[in-house]
Amino acid sequence: MIKLIILDVDGVMTDGTITYDSEGREYKSFNVRDGFGIVTAIKKGIGVAVITGRHSFMVDRRCKELGIKDVYQGVDDKLEVYEMLKTKYNLRDEEIAVMGDDIPDLPLLKRAGISGAPSDAVEVVKKNVTFISSLPGGRGAVREFIDYILELNNEKEKIE
Ligand SMILES: [Mg+2]
């Protein structure tokens, strides 16, 4: 059973675009269907965490809206946070799913029980994951990944 889903932000929860206005404010766009998937997973008792190398107010805002409490921004070493979450929730690697799109996500993707990538992730990431979404980042990849995990969890529930 997957008990924790860890998501990258840029290129996973968004299409990777960062827009600045003339005041230097940063904008990102999030997908409503991805959001519904995240809320559904949380309702079913699966933890959702976000780990990103960048820092932006919009991410805090979006995560708050979706009920994601574990939000780690400005992270250099994502594996360090992964290990910390593993200890915090007393989990095994097999109980963790990670979705990422670029090289900083690779150590986590290689460690987690289920690893996912959007369809437009970099090639080396796609070569190292167990699930490749048919959809790109910010366009439903997260939703498809979560639906896949929920289905797997349901099947395991039936067997156990
Ligand atoms: Mg990324």
* Averaged confidence pLDDT in the chain: 96
Q: Which pair of tokens denotes residue 159?
A: 């067997």
Ligand 1 centroid–CA 158 distance in Å is 34
What's the CATH code of the domain at 124? Answer: 3.40.50.1000
Ligand 1 centroid–CA 99 distance in Å is 9
pLDDT band of residue 158 (cuts 50, 70, 90) is confident
Q: What is the pLDDT of residues 17-56, one digit of tens each?
A: 999 999 988 999 999 999 999 999 999 999 999 999 999 9
Ligand 1 centroid–CA 157 distance in Å is 32
- Structure confidence at residue 114 (pLDDT): 98
Question: Is residue 157 pLDDT above 90, yes or no?
Answer: no
- Structure confidence at residue 156 (pLDDT): 83
Residues with CB under 5 A from ligand 1 (ion): 8, 10-11, 101-102
User: Could you give the CA distance from residue 49 to residue 70 in angstroms, rounded to a whole number?
Assistant: 5
Domain count, the chain: 1
Ligand 1 centroid–CA 150 distance in Å is 23
Q: What is the pLDDT of residues 75-128, one digit of tens each?
A: 999 999 999 999 999 999 999 999 999 999 999 999 999 999 999 999 999 999
Q: How does DSSP assign 64-106, residue by residue?
A: HHHT--EEE-S-S-HHHHHHHHHHHTT--GGGEEEE--SGGGH
Ligand 1 centroid–CA 49 distance in Å is 14
Across the beta sheet with 47-51, what order do the strands follow? Answer: 70-72, 47-51, 4-7, 96-99, 114-117, 131-132
Ligand 1 centroid–CA 102 distance in Å is 5
Domain that holds residue 90: 4-159
H or E, element range at 7: strand 4-7
* Among the listed residues 42, 116, 51, 106, the one whose alpha carbon sits nearest the alpha carbon of residue 82: 51
